Amino acid sequence: MPPTGIAAGLFSALTFGAGDFAGAFAARRAGAIVVVAGAHTVGLIALLVGLALIRPEVPDTGAVLVGLSAGVAGAIGLAALYRGMSLGSMGLVTSLSGAGSLVIPLAAGALIGASIGGWQLVGVACAAAAAAVAGGASRDEVGRRALLLAGAAAVGFGTWYVLLDLAARGGDPLWALVFSRAMSAALTTAFAVRRFDRARFPGHIVIAAGLFDVGGNALYVVAREVIPIGLAAALTGLYPIVTMVLARVVLGERLPRLGQLGVGLALLGIVLISVGA
């Protein structure tokens, strides 16, 4: 197995996990919509630089529209994730959203005739069990709201995966990311204008979140080019561990035993669904 692909997958998990932590941490001060607007604007600038350097062929109108639609789903997913992580356990929310987001592409593939492997079905069962266990671990109103937001994030990200894949097939992956980020940045900025408070806006953390997010995408693309896509997805899907470790070290966040079980089941579901692809 090429070590470059393995390293790219692991570093993708590292950067995604760090980006989620940075975004959720910033959202506690400035609000989820404001942070998503800032992070996705930073990401869009980085993608435009890449576009100027690589200069791929411009896709057709259909691919552009699908890419823009992906941006709507991505904006909803990330806003829900940051808000949920700012309310409840970062490790638990990001694990559940990560596991749940893989179920939608799996279901979409099944609808168009793709086969679903036995291990993937076990992974879906693990994701469902993780949600059930997490519900038992979250006994107050804030905890339940965080779990509902984790579910909304899973739906948003799962839809984003499907639409972005369609946009990339109809054109170029880099263009698909550019149109997706352009829409999400514009949409969230429109909602964030009235909520923006410069005194509470942690610009350096938001910039880091945006760059980490784009870096995670780029490293995942590298990984899937040189190793099997299932393995690349499984390695990248370990990012909740990074978020959980950062939350523990930086914020002193601790999970109850049921929460730890929920995280473990969610991570197992991510790996089984991805490897079974």
Alpha helices for 31-140 (secondary structure H): 32-54, 61-87, 90-111, 118-137
Task: Kindly indicate the confidence band of residue 69, based on its pLDDT and cuts at 50, 70 and 90.
Answer: very high
Predicted confidence at residue 142, as pLDDT, reads 63
Q: How far apart are the first and last CA of the chain?
A: 17
29-38, 151-160, 232-241 — which is least confidently predicted?
232-241
Query: In whole angstroms, what is the distance from residue 208 CA to residue 74 CA?
Result: 18
pLDDT of residue 81: 92
pTM above 0.85, yes or no: yes
Can you tell me the distance from the alpha carbon of 20 to that of 16, in angstroms, rounded to the nearest whole number? 6
How much of the chain, in percent, has pLDDT values that exceed 70? 95
178 Cβ contact partners less than 8 Å away, ≥ 6 residues apart:
44, 47, 48, 51, 67
Q: What angle do CA 75, 26, 37 make, to 5 degrees?
A: 30
The string of pLDDT tens digits covering residues 89-146 is 788 888 888 888 888 888 877 777 767 778 778 888 887 887 777 766 556 666 788 8
What pLDDT digit, counting tens, does each position of 192-223 carry? 988 888 888 999 999 999 999 989 888 887 88
Mean pLDDT of the chain, nearest integer: 86
Helix 173-192 / helix 61-87 crossing angle, nearest 10 deg: 50
pLDDT of 187 = 95
When computed from its CA atoms, the radius of gyration of the chain, rounded to whole angstroms, is 18
**Interatomic CA distance for residues 188 and 45, integer angstroms:** 15
pLDDT of residue 116: 72
Structure confidence at residue 137 (pLDDT)? 58
Tell me: pLDDT of 277 over 60: no
Q: What is the DSSP letter of 176?
A: H
- Which of 103-117, 142-156, 222-236 has maximum average pLDDT? 142-156
Of the chain, the percentage scoring pLDDT greater than 90 comes to 36
How many C-beta atoms lie closer than 10 Å to residue 215's C-beta?
A: 19
The C-alpha atoms of residue 188 and residue 258 are separated, in whole angstroms, by: 34
CA 88 to chain centre: 17
Name the CA dihedral angle for 59, 62, 67, 68, rounded to a multiple of 10 degrees.
Answer: 120
Residues 123, 273: contact at Cβ < 8 Å? Answer: yes
106 neighbors 263 (Cβ within 8 angstroms): no
Residue type, 214: V
pLDDT at 14: 93
CB half-sphere exposure, 11, CA atoms < 13 A: 14
The residue behind tokens 């909740």 is: 240
